[in-house]
Amino acid sequence: MNVAVVGTGYVGLVAGACLAETGNRVVCVDIDREKVEALRRGEIPIYEPGLEELVKRNVEAGRLSFTTDLASAVKPARVAFIAVGTPPDEDGSADLQHVLAVARDIGRAMEKETVVVTKSTVPVGTAQRVREAVEAETAVPVHVCSNPEFLKEGAAVDDFMKPDRVVVGVDHPAAEEALRELYAPFLRTGNALMVMDIPSAEITKYAANAMLATRISFMNAIAGLCERTGADVDKVRQGIGSDARIGSAFLFPGAGYGGSCFPKDVKALIRTSRELGAPSAILEAVEAVNEAQKQLLLSRVVRRFGGDLSGRTFAVWGLAFKPNTDDMREAPSRVTIEGLLERGAKVVAHDPEAIHEARRVFGDRIAYSKREYDSLDGADALIIHTEWLPYRRPDFAEMKSRMAQPILFDGRNLYAPAMMAGHGFEYYSIGRPVVGASSSAEV
């Protein structure tokens, strides 16, 4: 099948490469000429395991190509995906200007009946606006449908190739037929293709992300209660996660969620709910808990060392909002580091993949380390923000020998408190007892 994918960001690039892998002829479109040229050379602008090899293989096989010419991609296509960004507007709503601009461009380029798919995360009602934008530019039949993505950063290729479900919202048999044919190779093991009306598909994506965000904020709220009662949030998490009605996923407390999806989608769903007069109190609480949680590590550092951090050095392990990605959008590490800098501290950071993004965000306001241990030299404390595998079993003796003080603020609960006490660390985690500190220093 001839497929056009407009947008070579996270969603568009993964979708285009995976669709090409199953034999389709896919043309990915982007207005950034330098980015297109880089992609043609096999240079991938994001870190995503397996993606670089997938792109190179399909480019070499002639199934995947990149262009800045939208019309040349759309004219032969049976299906055209819109996968451009929908950044949050000032009021929290999704900014649809790029989606609608692409829809108009597709309408001007179409020469035959085409299925236009909104792959970008968009509010309910967007498909109808896309349809109107396309039809205003053409008399050729168009079938607009919704096909939200549920990819996890760090596992996106596997998620696309082996989905637990594919959701499509359609209102015409031609659109359903095309999408069934397109996704058939990915559903051979019996995973579901869920066909529904378009508004239901649009809401499904937002509802899924909001539910996962809710679980995270719920556990962070419970972690705060555990700290005030002497309970251990890990034991509580295991206790409730063993209930089959609840399950164990997304019940890990931490320094707050970030990334390109959860913060943006929760805000957009709140905005949509308010506009339609629907209750949004739960969503507003989820967002409020998360914003407070992002301040938690900074507040603990301040309580431990005081408000003036001049002359202090802090090592930060992990900058990306989660492991296996270089994405720092809405990352809790940004809140912590900005707060440390505002109080006069020096920050030395390490991350296996996000250093280039950190340089864009912080420039030379912080220092960067190629090895995680080198960031500890003379540090008054270590702050862990991302649960990268190399951080899970470090050499604690080397850590202590390099640090000015063996103090660790763990925003991901990587280590057992008893083990850290045995290694002689003053250790602060989330929802668990502090170890190695005087009662006056416990935060």
Domain regions of the chain by residue span: 2-195, 206-292, 295-441
pLDDT given at position 440: 43
Give me the sign of the Cα torsion angle 380, 383, 388, 393: positive
pLDDT given at position 439: 45
Pseudo-torsion of CA 360, 363, 367, 368, nearest 10°? 20
pLDDT given at position 188: 82
Q: Are 169 and 200 in contact (CB under 8 A)?
A: yes
Round to whole Å and give the CA distance between 285 and 161.
Answer: 35
Round to whole Å and give the CA distance between 147 and 79.
Answer: 12
The neighbouring-strand residues paired with 384 are: 317, 410
Give me the sign of the Cα torsion angle 388, 389, 390, 396: positive
| DSSP code of residue 88 | B
Q: Are 204 and 177 in contact (CB under 8 A)?
A: no
Q: Respond yes or no: is residue 261 known to be catalytic.
A: yes
Q: Residues, the chain, total?
A: 443
Residue reference for tokens 């637990």: 164
The tokens for 443 are 């935060």
Q: Which stretch of DSSP H or E encloses residue 348?
A: strand 346-350
pLDDT given at position 42: 86
Same fold, 2-195 and 206-292: no
3-state secondary structure of 121: coil
Round to whole Å and give the CA distance between 402 and 161.
Answer: 44
What class, spelled out in words, does domain 206-292 have in CATH?
mainly alpha
Strand order in 25-29's β-sheet?
Answer: 64-67, 25-29, 2-6, 79-82, 114-118, 142-146, 165-169, 192-196
Q: What is the mean pLDDT of each run of 10 residues along the chain (443 residues)?
A: 95 96 97 94 90 95 97 97 83 82 97 94 90 96 94 91 94 95 89 92 94 98 96 97 96 95 92 93 97 98 97 98 95 98 98 96 97 98 97 97 97 97 97 79 54
| DSSP code of residue 292 | H
What class, spelled out in words, does domain 295-441 have in CATH?
alpha beta
pLDDT given at position 64: 97
Strand order in 407-410's β-sheet?
Answer: 367-368, 346-350, 313-317, 381-384, 407-410, 426-428
The tokens for 78 are 């049976």
Residue reference for tokens 């792959």: 119
Q: Are 222 and 252 in contact (CB under 8 A)?
A: no
CATH 3.40.50.720 is held by the domain 2-195:
yes
Nearby residues of 429 by Cβ (< 8 Å), 6 or more positions away = 410, 413, 415, 417
Give me the sign of the Cα torsion angle 366, 368, 372, 378: negative
pLDDT given at position 115: 97
pLDDT given at position 385: 98
3-state secondary structure of 345: coil
